[in-house]
A and B are shown apart, each in its own frame.
Chain A
Amino acid sequence: MKSSKEILDSEFLDLRSKLLDLAASLDRIDRAEGSIAGDERMQLLAAGIAIIAKDDPDRAHQIQHLFSREFDPQWKQKFNMPTRN
């Protein structure tokens, strides 16, 4: 299997390009007319970018949770669902 140096060597240009794509998409949104003030998706994206910038081993996992609705362990009571067996 490849070393971290080998992976960085093979993926560096790809990562650079992904960063540019992300930056250009955000620029495109800014440049366009109309307002997105208060659109919570922009806050989600900003929070996602902050996760990427962290030095953590499970960034992808954290981003998945960022974009997920919460799970309520009491959901069955709320739905009036009987526990079956």
Chain B
Amino acid sequence: MEAEIQHANQKLATSMYYIDPHIHMVSRTTDDYETLARMGCVAISEPAFWAGYDRGSADGFRDYFVQLTEVEPLRAAAYGIEHFTWLCINAKEAENVQLSRDVLKMIPEFLDCPNVLGIGEIGLNKNTPNESIIFQEHLELAIEYDQQILIHTPHLEDKYQGTRMILDMLADHSQLDRSRVLVDHVEEHTVRAVIDAGYWAGMTLYPVTKCTPARAADIIETVGSERLCVNSAGDWGPSKPTAVPDLIFEMRKRGHREAQIKEVVFDNPRRFFNQSKNFQLSDPEDR
């Protein structure tokens, strides 16, 4: 018995390498990069998002895209972390249709940057007509340039309605390869519709407003781990950049096999990203 406990404790304390497929490092400190590296993070993907204030012009987005494609990869590399990114105008600022169209026009200039995986995180915020129009225009851009898509679903009371609207709009595009689309921030009431329709799903581990590690583990146990990823969505708001290791810890405590945990935190995001021509990441186990 004692030996068993000792063995379990050893396993709980070992770090597992992982990918955080959704984290906003422009809002985080260099100390966070170091902590992520120490916790076993080997790669991250950073979708373009709302900065906490509305940008004044398309040029503000150009500067942001330079930050995502040139500056962050260098900050990450200093800690041995591979940095990938997604470009778009976020759902909140998509309310401004003219600004959005100016940004959409500019995105193709950046699509050949070596760390760009696709278009994202596009989606809905308050589920308005303008947001929906710009979401559709992003989808058309992604299809035209053969890009993968990362989708933000709305918060709290707007999530269910917004997720269903997003699935409706995605279904309009029969030429869209569903296995190259990830619908993020799913919870108990939205995960099945996303997975059953053939898309990938992401669960965000947030202290109060999204999934806790325990609930995310419950969802994995009930829905299965196929096409399911987890992320911290660490940003400038209340969030925890090391939330993925918290899920690893939770799953180990429950007695999940190491291979199943690794599937969720490493194999799955790698499998999804591998469909993008700019993604390359070897398994540290094979190095």
Contact = CB atoms under 8 A, between A and B. Distances in A.
Given A61-B188, A80-B129, A70 B172 contact: no
Contacts of A72: 161
A69 B161 contact: yes
Interface of B: 127, 129, 132-133, 136, 140, 156-161, 164-165, 168, 172-175, 187-189, 215, 218, 254-256
Given A81-B129, A81-B133, A84-B173, A65 B160 contact: yes
A48 B215 CA distance: 17
8 contacts: A1-B254, A2-B255, A61-B188, A65-B189, A67-B156, A69-B161, A81-B133, A85-B174
A69 B158 contact: yes
B71 to A, nearest CB: 36
A41 to B, nearest CB: 11
Contact of A60 (B168, B174, B218): B218
B229 to A, nearest CB: 20
Interface in A39-72: 58, 60-61, 64-65, 67-72
Contacts of B189: 61, 64-65, 68
Contacts of B158: 69
Contacts of B136: 81, 84
A6 to B, nearest CB: 9
Contact of A69 (B160, B173, B255): B160
Nearest to B133: A81
Contacts of A2: 254-255
Interface of A: 1-2, 58, 60-61, 64-65, 67-73, 75-76, 79-81, 83-85
A73 B127 CA distance: 13
B188 A64 contact: yes
Given A75-B165, A84-B173, 13 more contacts: A1-B256, A2-B254, A58-B188, A60-B188, A61-B188, A67-B157, A68-B189, A70-B161, A71-B161, A79-B129, A83-B172, A84-B172, A85-B173
A71 B160 contact: yes
Nearest 8 Cβ contacts at the A-B interface: A64-B189, A68-B160, A71-B164, A79-B129, A71-B161, A61-B188, A84-B172, A69-B161
Given A1-B255, A75-B168, A68 B174 contact: no
A3 B164 CA distance: 36
A55 B277 CA distance: 49
Nearest to B176: A85
Please indicate which of the listed interface residues B133, B158, B161, B175 has the most CB atoms of chain A within 10 Å of its own CB. B161
Contacts of B127: 69
A67 B215 CA distance: 17
Nearest to B256: A1
Contacts of B172: 83-85
Given A75-B165, A75-B168, A81-B132, A68 B173 contact: no
